[in-house]
Chain A
């Protein structure tokens, strides 16, 4: 190639060449390469001394020299000569000569510098992006480290993001809230949110307010929201940052305190609260009603201004000792009202302590018992008088009991072939059981009755009954039905209307053998206990005596044979209870009861029946008078 052409190729296209021999030495025909690479005289230089970039690649070059490969290239080699140069190095086999090759240097400085500029910008951008990502990650980590819910919104009120605690607290994820306004997420409170957002953007600074929010799961919570903002062109000029503080527990406590406060305000007892020095910090309306002092008058005062002077120093010393040692004092105290009146109060004083056990306040509770005390004093005064009256009544009752006892018949007529026995177990109170056995020319008239009620009135009624029953027996002897009708008339017409009685009236006649004619006014049936062991109730009963006008009583007659026993009793026997709440009763069980008690003599039989009753009753108290009246035809 002519030198001119080579010069043009080198200077205009930046391409240089050298010849490579089989010994990897270079021979240069193009002197321009010396200037390009900044080398001195070059001749027969070893390849890798001139191009250390080919160190280690000698085998590749040999392949080219030996024509195993046509070409080997190493691109984009950077060197600094006078300035930076970039070139591609190519080794080409010499097609005309064995073991020979050409080294072609292709200058690519201009393109490489341009490429570097592009690469540099790209790399710098990536690094900047990486830095942004890193900062974003840092900020996200920072936000997630904050233990309170944090959110941020753009100037139109749309959420941009939030921290993890916000997600946990509200139940909305970052994706849920992104791009949404508070009206969608928290519809109940969004008016407030929007108002405070506008206030913040218009006036700057920061705002904080309380709000109730409904979480994603529907639960309602209370929060304090602190909001501030900063300017950022990307998000419409302003970014609002908010931090929520959960005050649900505090709000609940406030609500409880409000309930307690209302209870204290409307309490029917007076309440004062003092500080630890005893100066009043609070008094409720009831205290003002009792003491006459308004709340404003007592705040800051020591309660000692209420002292009446009634109690001595020791009283107050004991009071404070009890508060200190037992944690409470309660008792009655006489205080002085604002108008000078004295007021008895049932009071208690106890300390309030903080978490460390230090006394911070004292609470005094008082109830006005002045009227109660006056009433009690009056009652006390009356008690003596009442006691005297009671003593008199008890004395009268005792006399009445003696009188009733005297009314009861102790001795019975002595009649041949007829044994008569009576067993009477009265209650402590005066009872209403009565009986009489009065002889006439043919036999005896028998009367047994049970008056309703007990006590002195029953005793008086009983004495009247004795009087009337005995005074008319002569007129109605042998006609027991008429006898009861007359008594019914007397008691219905003339005696106290609320009293009545049950009774059996009868005539035991010896005229033809022995027979018994009787009428029954609501009384338990008489029992006939035959000598051969048969036993049965006799007759029937009509209604009680002294209740209905013109009451009629039927008469019944039964023969009594030798050895028979005729038994009369009052309801105290069939209604006897035992501890198992069993009752003897009015039916066959009662007959069996009597039959078991049958002995040879009436006396033994009566005792055996009474013993059975007492045994049956056991530990149970006697509830009614027990009367058993028996006749034995011997």
Chain B
């Protein structure tokens, strides 16, 4: 299988929302309940099949969680094809901060595909009700997809990434 594409995908969001866990679940199909703060950036590569004949390398940038005291370095974002904003369904403020993260991504790349993963869906009931809340906050920010996920039970994670690299592939083919 030919490895024709390489895409940089950045994961951003407040601290402890599960960015590292999402990467671990997607790349290694693993999950750990213990929390270890990410410092700086950790890049993980995963080769994915985007069609029967073509594979692509996804470079997943797991970026340390940010808040009003800790800002993300712009060079971490630069050159990214897509961004995933991760929020914690059990912490409403992390959902309310999604628009701020979207602004940061857009400031570095106005055409970047942006996805929203509302994580920890295994911990709340009626997780889908939060999708509307998140979408209300990101109206006009051209979010590709807002989806609930669970790094713990794997819900929707493959779906999220499949939608992501299919969209990237489609973008390339359209060029």
Q: Is the CB of A86 within 8 A of B39?
A: yes
Q: Are B37 and A123 in contact (CB under 8 A)?
A: yes
Complex Cα distance A75/B15, Å? Answer: 19
Q: Is B78's CB within 8 Å of the partner chain A? A: yes
A76-B39, A119-B39, A120-B36 in contact; A127/B79 too (CB < 8 A)?
no
13 other contacts beyond A78-B40, A78-B42, with CB at 8 A cut-off?
A55-B8, A55-B43, A56-B79, A57-B78, A60-B78, A75-B73, A76-B39, A78-B39, A86-B39, A86-B40, A112-B40, A116-B39, A130-B93
Contact indicator A52/B43 (Cβ below 8 Å): yes
- Provide the residues of chain A in CB contact with B8, threshold 8 Å: 55-56
> What string of 1s and 0s marks CB contacts (under 8 Å) between A118-141 and chain B?
011001101100100000000000
Contacts of A76 in B (CB 8 A): 39-41, 64
Closest 7 CB pairs of A and B: A56-B79, A76-B40, A78-B42, A120-B37, A56-B8, A119-B37, A116-B39
Tell me the bound Cα distance from A58 to B75 in angstroms: 12
Chain A CB within 8 A of B16 CB: yes
Q: How far is the CB of B50 from chain A (nearest CB, A)?
A: 17
Partner of A55, one of B36, B73, B79: B79
List chain A residues, Cβ under 8 A from B38.
78
Check: B105 CB closer than 8 A to any chain A CB: no
In whole Å, how far is B65's beta carbon from the nearest beta carbon of chain A? Answer: 8
Q: How far is the CA of A57 from the CA of B15 in the complex (A)?
A: 25
| Identity of the chain A residue whose Cβ is nearest the Cβ of B8 in the assembled complex | A56
User: B residues engaging A (CB < 8 A)?
Assistant: 6, 8, 15-16, 35-43, 45, 59, 64-65, 73, 75-76, 78-81, 91, 93
Pick the most buried of B16, B75, B80, B93: most chain A CB atoms within 10 A of its CB.
B75
Q: How far is the CA of A116 from the CA of B35 in the complex (A)?
A: 12
On chain B, the residues within 8 Å of A55 by CB distance are: 6, 8, 43, 59, 79
Residues on A with C-beta less than 8 A from B73 are 75
Smallest beta-carbon distance B107→chain A, Å: 16
Whether the pair B39, A130 counts as a contact (CB closer than 8 A) is no
B130 vs chain A, min Cβ distance (A): 15
- A86-B64 Cα distance, complex, nearest whole Å: 13
Contact between A78 and B41 (Cβ–Cβ < 8 Å)? yes
Q: How far is the CB of A107 from chain B (nearest CB, A)?
A: 13
A77 interface residue per 8 A CB criterion: yes
The chain B residue sitting closest to A130, CB to CB, is B91
In the bound complex, residues from chain B placing their C-beta under 8 Å from that of A495 are: none
Q: In angstroms, how far is the closest chain A Cβ from the Cβ of B44?
A: 9
Judge whether A115 is part of the interface by a CB distance below 8 angstroms. yes
Chain B min CB distance to A78 (Å): 4
Chain A residues positioned under 8 Å from B64 (CB to CB): 76, 119
Kindly report which residue of chain B lies nearest to residue A79, judged by CB atoms.
B42
Closest approach, in angstroms, between the C-beta of B83 and any C-beta of chain A?
12
Contact indicator B40/A77 (Cβ below 8 Å)? yes
CB neighbours of B45 from chain A (8 A): 52
Chain B residues with Cβ below 8 Å from A120 are 35-37
Q: How far is the CB of B97 from chain A (nearest CB, A)?
A: 13
Instruction: State in angstroms the CA–CA spacing of A286 and B15 once bound together.
Output: 85
Q: Which residue of B lies closest to A51 (CB)?
A: B43
A53 interfacial contact with B, CB 8 Å = yes
Q: A52-B59, A120-B36, A123-B16 are in contact. Are A57 and B41 (CB under 8 A)?
A: no
Choose from B15, B43, B79 the contact partner of A123 (Cβ within 8 Å): B15
Residues in A with CB closer than 8 Å to B91 are: 130
Asked if A496 CB lies within 8 Å of chain B CBs, one says: no
- A538 CB to nearest chain B CB (Å): 118
Answer whether residue A74 sits at the interface, using C-beta atoms and an 8 A cutoff.
yes
Most chain-B Cβ atoms within 10 A of its Cβ — which of A55, A77, A112, A124?
A: A55
Chain A residue with minimal CB distance to B75?
Answer: A74
Question: Can you name the residue of chain B whose Cβ is closest to the Cβ of A115?
Answer: B39
Q: Which residues of B contact A74 (CB under 8 A)?
A: 75-76
Q: Which residues of B contact A127 (CB under 8 A)?
A: 16
In the complex with contacts A120-B36, A123-B15, A124-B35, A56-B78 CB distance below 8 A: yes
Looking at the assembled complex, report how far the CB atom of B117 sits from the nearest CB atom of chain A, in whole angstroms: 19
The answer for the CA separation of A335 and B42 in the assembled complex, in Å, is: 106
**A 68-106 binary contact with B (CB < 8 Å = 1; else 0):** 000000111111000000100000000000000000000
Residue of A nearest to B80 (CB): A56
Q: Hey, which chain A residues are within 8 Å of B16, CB to CB?
A: 123, 127
B75 x A60 contact (CB < 8 A): yes
Residue on B nearest A72 in the bound complex, by CB: B75
Q: Which of B15, B37, B59, B78 has the most CB of A within 10 A?
A: B37
Task: Please indicate the chain A residues that have their CB under 8 angstroms from the CB of B59 in the complex.
Answer: 52, 55-56
Complex CA distance for A78 and B93, rounded to whole angstroms: 28
Most B CB contacts (10 A, CB to CB) among A56, A58, A78, A124 go to A56
Which of A52, A53, A112, A124 touches B39 (beta carbons < 8 Å)?
A112
Tell me how far the C-beta of A136 lies from the nearest C-beta in chain B, rounded to whole angstroms.
Answer: 14
Minimum CB–CB distance from A335 to chain B (whole Å) comes to: 73
Question: Do A53 and B41 have beta carbons less than 8 Å apart?
Answer: yes
Chain B: minimal CB distance from A103 (Å): 15
Chain A residue nearest to B90 (CB atoms) is A134
Contact among A58, A60, A77 for B43, CB-based, below 8 A:
A77
- Distance from A600 Cβ to chain B, minimum over Cβ atoms (Å): 120
Question: Which of the listed residues A57, A76, A79 has the most CB atoms from chain B within 10 Å of its own CB?
Answer: A76
Residues from chain B with Cβ under 8 Å of A119 in the complex: 15, 37, 39, 64
- Complex CA–CA separation, A127 to B91 (angstroms): 9
Cα A105 to Cα B150 in complex, Å, equals 36
A389 CB, min distance to chain B CBs, angstroms: 102
Chain A proximity of B23: nearest CB distance (Å): 12
**Nearest Cβ distance between residue A623 and chain B, in whole angstroms?**
97
Chosen A-B contacts, 29 in total, with CB atoms closer than 8 Å, are A53-B41, A55-B6, A56-B59, A56-B80, A56-B81, A57-B75, A58-B79, A60-B75, A60-B78, A74-B76, A75-B40, A75-B73, A76-B39, A76-B40, A76-B41, A77-B42, A77-B43, A78-B38, A86-B39, A86-B40, A115-B39, A116-B37, A119-B64, A120-B35, A120-B36, A120-B37, A123-B15, A126-B15, A127-B16
